[in-house]
Amino acid sequence: MDSIEKYLGEKRDFKVYMADKMLRRAVEREFEIIGEAMGRIEKLDSSLNISSKKQIISMRNRVIHGYDKIDNEIIWGTIVRHLPTLKKEIESLLK
């Protein structure tokens, strides 16, 4: 999550994101890693309260298995709406 934030910088701009293929691929890779970790967490302890656990795992599967069908607007929406919540939940669990 920190890597995605670092890649995007302070000024998050969808147009900049769309214009930079390397940035999009880097963010997609980070979501693959996050989704894989979430899948492993689910197998270890499905009772952990992570609000978007199933959606994260599903996004990972779409990114990995559907390269020709990646919806950049969905990725961006996840960054803007869900990543901050996920980060707070994970930080809380780590404490």
- Active-site pick, 25, 29, 40, 65: 65
Q: Is 65 a catalytic residue?
A: yes
**How far from 21 is each of 14, 32, 35, 47, CA to CA, in Å?**
12, 16, 21, 37
Report the distance separating Cα 12 and Cα 44, nearest Å: 34
- Active-site pick, 60, 62, 81, 82: 60
The type of residue at 59 is M
End-to-end CA distance of the chain: 17
Give me the phi and psi of 53, to 5 degrees please. -55, -50
Q: Is 60 a catalytic residue?
A: yes
Supply the residues annotated as catalytic: 60, 65
